[in-house]
A and B are shown apart, each in its own frame.
Chain A
Amino acid sequence: GENVEQHPSTLSVQEGDSAVIKCTYSDSASNYFPWYKQELGKRPQLIIDIRSNVGEKKDQRIAVTLNKTAKHFSLHITETQPEDSAVYFCAASISSGNEKLTFGTGTRLTIIP
């Protein structure tokens, strides 16, 4: 089955700097890659996603890039703010109807004021 690896497990950046979180996946058939943000004690929420027919997607300060050949995708957060502090999870799935997501192990991002 699919295996998703995520790095780093923890990341601290100065407020205003950029943060990058990287994930690799094993199943070349995977074609949907969401990123979820989970604040302390709260539910995961989708912040951005990308399909395999697209190489990059942006939404304000957040962007995701996908390299299908290398089977890795990354989350980029620019101009970080204190409210960006959270745990971020990447995931991968094959859009075959059941959308079984395989998650990475998470990255705890801390923004230093």
Chain B
Amino acid sequence: DGGITQSPKYLFRKEGQNVTLSCEQNLNHDAMYWYRQDPGQGLRLIYYSQIVNDFQKGDIAEGYSVSREKKESFPLTVTSAQKNPTAFYLCASRDTNYNEQFFGPGTRLTVL
């Protein structure tokens, strides 16, 4: 499981504030992913990146933004445009030679 870290574990923000979630990996993986997990809804893909300086929208990208300036890092910004940002956010990475995605420990974001 090691190699993918997310920080912080818990995050509280006031409504209307942007917040950035960190995701770092030292697995030398090219591909990285951001998912949102809500009770009863499984994991939904927000953004993904196959290579540095390139990323694509997933199924629920509205209100989120990402960057991929370094191979090891794929930060996710939850903007004030996201209508319901309170959720558990999971980052994952993958060696593009294989299928398996490895998940980070997650960040639980609560917007007050």
Contacts and interface: CB of A to CB of B under 8 A. Distances in A.
Interface of A: 1, 6, 9, 32, 34, 36, 42-46, 49, 89, 91, 93, 95, 97-106
B44 A103 contact: yes
A105 B40 contact: yes
A9 to B, nearest CB: 7
Interface residues of B, number: 25
Q: Which 5 A-B pairs have the closest CB atoms?
A: A103-B42, A43-B103, A105-B42, A103-B43, A44-B103
B76 to A, nearest CB: 16
A57 to B, nearest CB: 13
Interface of B: 1, 31, 33, 35, 40-45, 48, 50, 56, 58-59, 90, 94, 96, 99-101, 103-106
A99 B99 contact: yes
B99 A104 contact: no
Nearest to B59: A1
Contact of A89 (B1, B43, B99): B43
Given A9-B40, A98-B48, A101-B43, 10 more contacts: A43-B103, A44-B90, A46-B101, A98-B50, A99-B99, A100-B45, A102-B59, A103-B43, A105-B41, A105-B42
A47 B97 CA distance: 19
A99 B101 contact: yes
Nearest to A9: B40
A39 to B, nearest CB: 12
A98 B58 CA distance: 11
B48 A89 contact: no
A43 to B, nearest CB: 4
Given A34-B100, A49-B99, A99-B99, A43 B41 contact: no
A95 B103 CA distance: 19
B74 to A, nearest CB: 14
Nearest to B9: A41
A86 to B, nearest CB: 14
